[in-house]
Amino acid sequence: MTTLYLIRHARSEGNAMQVIQGWLDLPLDEYGRRQARLLGERFRHKSLAAIYSSTLLRAADTARAIADTLGMPVIPDARLREYHMGAWTGLTAAEIDQMMPPHYFENAVEPIGPGAESGQEMRARVSAFLDDMLARHNGDRVAVVSHGGTLGGFASAILSLPPVRHQPFHFGNASVTKFVFEHGRWRMSGLNDRCHLRSLMAGGAAGSH
């Protein structure tokens, strides 16, 4: 049985500013660093064979909080990056609305910005990562720290859903989603788990975006 923990990065400066990040490489903000520390504590007594991370700073710093707790290295992999958002990178939702033609979001089957990555392109890279991970870590527990869009790509690939950008899943900052591969098939055993953040959220701090 192979266990895969899919982890979204903690809150970044871009999340706090409510801008579309994509490959914009912004760090965690102070609240995000606190989330990352709690995430690390959650995994303190987990036996992991490997911790993989997107090469973007917000994911790498989140992964490092787990790795430091366990005394393990972080393995960077560019295939775990967020969607490349093209011309929408760094913009707010209001700025994107102004950029695009009238009624674009009402009529587009899969709305993406000029020069952006498609759902099919994301499917190709996360599927390649999954194949490599299963070949390398049969029977192991593995953590993957990535991004909301990328985790949606993972979930849709594992569950054989259409390879589109917008999936019917939500992944909060510093959340943990768990999949298990056994007898040749995947099953989901946890989605968007943020129980390790209860003390932080009870303190009344702002939520994530």
Q: What amino acid positions are annotated as catalytic residues?
A: 9, 82
> How many CA atoms does the CB half-sphere of 89 hold within 13 Å?
15
Task: Give yes or no for a contact between 150 and 203, defined as CB atoms under 8 angstroms apart.
Answer: no
**What number of other Cβ atoms are within 10 A of residue 177's Cβ?**
21
CA 198, 202, 203, 207 torsion-angle sign: positive
Alpha-carbon span 48 to 42, nearest angstrom: 12
Please report, as a single letter, which amino acid is at residue 169. F
Q: Which alpha helices (H) appear in the chain, and where do they start and end?
A: 13-17, 30-42, 57-70, 93-99, 104-107, 119-136, 148-158, 198-202
**DSSP summary character for residue 160:** T
Residue 4 tokens, joined: 């895969």
Which residue in 94, 93, 33 sits closest to 64, CA to CA?
Answer: 33
